[in-house]
Chain A
Amino acid sequence: MAEREAQDNDQPLLMAENLGKSYGGLMACRDVSFALYPGEVLAVVGESGSGKSTLLQLLSAQLAPSAGRVSYRMRDGVMRDLAKLGEAERRFLFRTDWGYVHQDPAMGLRMAVSAGANVGERLMAVGWNHYGKIRDSASSWLERVEIDTDRIDDAPRTYSGGMRQRLQIARNLVTEPRLVFMDEPTGGLDVSVQARLLDLMRNLVSELGLAAIVVTHDLAVARLLSHRVMVMKGGYVIETGLTDQVLDDPHEPYTQLLVSSILPA
């Protein structure tokens, strides 16, 4: 892992250039440009309607842009325009090099199938064919996300919300992706559960050298997880910079408003 980092840290992993999406007359997001580097965590914050969710869909190639483009550096080092990838390539990326953590874990898990199968699926998709080894790998990942390994044969239907989210994370990380997209990863969870989950995520991201784009309306999440933050309003990026700088010293009035609305702990 360290070797790879040394090789490609100078080159951006993901690049957005003048990215925009509109639906008929309605513009969901416009003129978004940035570069994301390996191991870097970028938070995209804003209220609902700011365009942040649409942006995440564009960046993860689930929506085609109306303007601009998104490029990703594949494992062979070549920068590829996501809009030009074939469906097979895109789906392969999604299963190996990328992770996507949904706000609702039920969207990112097979709820009726055991935790072990959920985590093992990606391994089997890339050719692992030894039940014992798949199970062992799944088991060690459950441990890593702090799920009791006795629960490996239970379906996530029987898990609590926090556990499901941790399982979803394990399922995504098992193929050692380089980039993880997260959509409100702690939304809907109790505050104490959130804190524990954020801690876990921060440790995993740094241990594995993951790059991540985290969409959230919660500035505390941004503060805890990200190196850089982009603030969105009405479809535009209105402010961007190092997380601590933006949150401690916001320039834009809207950002100041957001920051000051955080209830004191």
Chain B
Amino acid sequence: MNAPAYNFAYLDEQTKRMIRRAILKAIAIPGYQVPFASREMPMPYGWGTGGVQVTAAILGRDDVLKVIDQGSDDTTNAISIRKFFAKTAGVATTTSTADATVIQTRHRIPEAALHTGQVLVYQVPIPEPLRFLEPRETETRRMHALGEYGLMHVKLYEDIARFGHIATSYAYPVKVNARYVMDPSPTPKFDNPKMDNCAALQLFGAGREKRIYAIPPHTSVVSLDFEDHPFSRYRHDAPCALCGAGDSYLDEIVTDDKGSRMFVCSDTDYCEGRQAQGHRGSESAAPHKERAHG
């Protein structure tokens, strides 16, 4: 039987070259979706194949990789992807945002500010910000080419007419480098401002939809809004119950069936870091123990 032998980080060098060319083109045109020939990967489409291909194409032996999903290093898919790279690339992995050189993420931007030299790789399900307004790819490509974003404006206007607010809470569209409208991936709008003038390189990979896009460091990223209905971040108004942080995005944890809930930092590294420095929230009287799990 044909037994497979895998290259460093799984992809063969030709494929990596193809992806890197797409990445370079994306960096040269911030916010523009570059089509690329996405490969079949050993995890399903929709589960991060785009992000994995981008990471595999840029990873070097000396890189330090962090993988998070919903802000946590310990969610099942983040673990699965981290193990994949540990196995196929043998790179060092970490949970520390500060120590990582490459961070692959699904649905969150880390709370700690990123620095020069880091790369943030986003997993993207639907790269096209106009997709739910116009299902045809042929049409949306034309709209981007001509800078015709009337359809998006109409949607925002309608939201305000109907709800009094722009009714988008995640995957909130942004204008990149004052030219292309882009979908930041399903990060909560709370994270949008972090993309603006960021010191790190931001890369976006959509495997199933076969698109790569990028925001070079220190590029302007502006969330769409109206002058009289300016963009506002949503964050549950409470400190983290574990570390007391008042400026991080919080997860709501349902603790019993009588409606009790508590709010905890979604970024586990950020929260643990604060706790290690001595910060405490209302629910954290002592250092936590691992709960026994089957």
Contact = CB atoms under 8 A, between A and B. Distances in A.
Interface of A: 87-88, 91, 95, 110, 113-114, 116-117, 120-122, 124-125, 129-132, 134-135, 152-153
B227 interface: yes
B154 interface: yes
B226 A117 contact: no
B227 A117 contact: no
A125 B228 contact: no
Interface stretch (B23-31, B44-52, B110-118, B156-164): B156-164
26 contacts: A87-B146, A88-B146, A91-B148, A95-B150, A114-B157, A114-B158, A114-B161, A116-B157, A117-B154, A117-B161, A121-B150, A121-B153, A122-B150, A124-B150, A124-B153, A124-B157, A125-B148, A125-B149, A125-B150, A131-B160, A131-B228, A131-B229, A134-B226, A152-B161, A153-B161, A153-B162
The interface residues of chain A, by DSSP majority, are classed as: helix
Interface string B248-274: 000000000000000000000000000
Nearest to A114: B161
B148 A130 contact: no
A214 to B, nearest CB: 26
A134 B154 CA distance: 11
Interface string B117-159: 0000000000000000000000000000010111001100110
Given A129-B227, A131-B228, A132-B228, A120 B157 contact: yes
A125 B153 contact: yes
A152 to B, nearest CB: 8
B146 A130 contact: no
A130 B228 contact: yes
Given A116-B157, A124-B157, A129-B226, 8 more contacts: A87-B146, A117-B154, A121-B154, A124-B150, A131-B227, A134-B157, A134-B226, A135-B161
A135 B160 CA distance: 11
Interface size class of B (residues with CB under 8 A): 10 to 19
A113 B227 CA distance: 22
Q: Which 10 A-B pairs have the closest CB atoms?
A: A124-B153, A131-B226, A125-B150, A130-B227, A117-B154, A117-B157, A132-B228, A88-B146, A153-B161, A121-B150
B160 A110 contact: no
Contacts of B150: 95, 121-122, 124-125
Nearest to B154: A117
Contacts of B161: 114, 116-117, 135, 152-153
A213 B227 CA distance: 38
B154 to A, nearest CB: 5
A88 B146 CA distance: 6
A132 B229 CA distance: 9
Contacts of B162: 114, 153
B230 to A, nearest CB: 10
Nearest to A124: B153
